[in-house]
Structure 1
Amino acid sequence: MRVLTVMTVGTLLLLAGCSEEAAKTESESLKDTVGSPNPAAVFCVESGGKLELVQEQKGAVGYCHLPDGSIVEEWTYFRANHPVN
């Protein structure tokens, strides 16, 4: 009887620990996602470009001014250089 009680309590503690860790992981994951920079903007700057945000009729649009003088919408530039398989 005592062995059964010890095993039950141990199992419950183990499960409680696992669920708490999963909750922390989800919370931390959400925090990382919310605080993440725009990957297209980061890629523009890492490529030597300068980012310009322009307020247009449908909202703000980012344009990447590249070192060669060309100006490309940031997501168009990002997708052209990161093709989906």
Structure 2
Amino acid sequence: MAACGGDGASDDDGDDPSTQIANPASVFCVEQGGEVEIVDETDGQVGYCNLPDGTRIEEWAYFNEQTGGTIPEDDGG
């Protein structure tokens, strides 16, 4: 019994970029003119934001520092 209808089969392998949610810290970095760099470190992957002035900062630290951790709502425009 399927609560949502359909036959239960799924063609979604999870790799379709149109269904992925963007990382707010990465988006913020790029919006500020930076470039995101993903680095493999001993504890896993870490995203860094390389800013136009040469500053390199962990993207979530930068996001939280600049926005207070608040994700702005999409105004639809």
Amino acid aligned to 1:43: F
Tell me how far apart the structure 2 counterparts of residues 44 and 84 of structure 1 sit (CA, whole Å). Answer: 13
- Runs of 4 or more, structure 1, over 6 Å off, are none
Q: Secondary structure at the match of 2:52?
A: coil
Aligned pairs for 1:33-48 (under 5 A) are 35-48=20-33
Tell me how far apart the structure 1 counterparts of residues 60 and 49 of structure 2 sit (CA, whole Å). Answer: 9
Q: Is the contact made by 2:63 and 2:69 (CA closer than 8 Å) also made in structure 1? A: no
Between Structure 1 and Structure 2, the one with more helix by share is 1
Distance change >3 Å, CA 75–CA 84, structure 1 → 2: closer
Indicate yes or no: 2:52 matched with 1:61: no
Query: Identity over aligned residues, as a percent?
Result: 51
Q: RMSD between aligned alpha carbons?
A: 1.8
Task: Name stretches of at least 5 consecutive residues in structure 2 with no aligned partner.
Answer: 5-18, 71-77
TM-score by length of 1: 0.57
Tell me how far apart the structure 2 counterparts of residues 84 and 48 of structure 1 sit (CA, whole Å). Answer: 19
Distance change >3 Å, CA 40–CA 84, structure 1 → 2: closer
TM-score by length of 2: 0.63
Partner of 1:6: none
Task: Name stretches of at least 5 consecutive residues in structure 1 with no aligned partner.
Answer: 1-22, 24-33
Larger radius of gyration between Structure 1 and Structure 2: 1
Deviation (angstroms), 1:64: 0.4
- Bigger shift: residues 43-52 or 75-84: 75-84
